[in-house]
């Protein structure tokens, strides 16, 4: 079990250099919480183990890759631009037809 990761799973905004410090003496004994500055009771080994196991079954949220997001937005903008160009062409064609009809009607009036 990684005590620091277990604590960060439970207290995701905690700073592991200020809010708590996990220490290991290097003599074969397990790591322990050497300092605890979170406004909550110091967790028991059982709580730490439960948080650790839960963190492994529910990995933390990973934000999407910024490049992938930008590529998706660019693709959507290209599609929207193409649709607007097609709409503009359709409206332009309809306007041309109306103009021809008006010119045709004006020509009939002059005869």
Instruction: Give the pLDDT confidence of 76-92 residue by residue, as tens digits.
Output: 999 999 999 999 999 99
Question: Do residues 92 and 72 both lie within one domain?
Answer: yes
Measure the CA–CA gap between 100 and 38, rounded to whole angstroms.
Answer: 79
CA distances from 107 to 7, 19, 75, 87, 97 (A): 86, 87, 48, 30, 15
Confidence of residue 63 (pLDDT cuts 50, 70, 90): confident
- Domain endpoint, select from 57, 84, 101: 57
Q: What is the domain extent for residue 25?
A: 3-57
Indicate whether 48 and 83 sit together in one domain.
Answer: no
On whether both 79 and 98 belong to a single domain, the answer is yes
Q: In total, how many domains does the chain have?
A: 2
Q: Is residue 69 pLDDT above 90, yes or no?
A: no
Task: Answer with the residue of higher pLDDT: 28 or 22.
Answer: 22
**Whether residue 79 sits in one domain with residue 37:** no
Read off the tokens for 62. 């990973």
- 23 by Cβ neighbours in 10 Å (0-12 / 13-18 / 19+) ranks as exposed
pLDDT of residue 28: 85
pLDDT above 90: residue 26: no
Once rounded to an integer, what is the mean pLDDT over residues 85-110? 90
Which tokens go with 30? 């397990």
User: For residue 16, what is the domain's CATH number?
Assistant: 3.30.56.60
* Mean pLDDT (whole number) for 56-60: 77
Could you tell me if 7 and 53 lie in one domain? yes
């Amino acid at each position: 079990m990684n005590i620091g990761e277990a604590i960060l799973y439970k207290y995701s905004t905690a700073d592991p250099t200020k809010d708590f410090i996990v220490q290991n003496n290097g003599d074969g004994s397990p790591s322990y919480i050497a300092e605890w500055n979170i406004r909550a009771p110091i967790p028991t080994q059982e709580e730490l183990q439960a948080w650790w196991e839960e963190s492994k079954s529910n990995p933390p949220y990973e934000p999407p890759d910024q490049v992938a997001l930008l590529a998706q937005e660019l693709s959507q903008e290209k599609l929207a631009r193409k649709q607007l160009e097609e709409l503009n062409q359709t409206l332009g064609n309809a306007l041309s037809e109306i103009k021809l009809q008006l010119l045709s009607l004006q020509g009939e009036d002059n005869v």
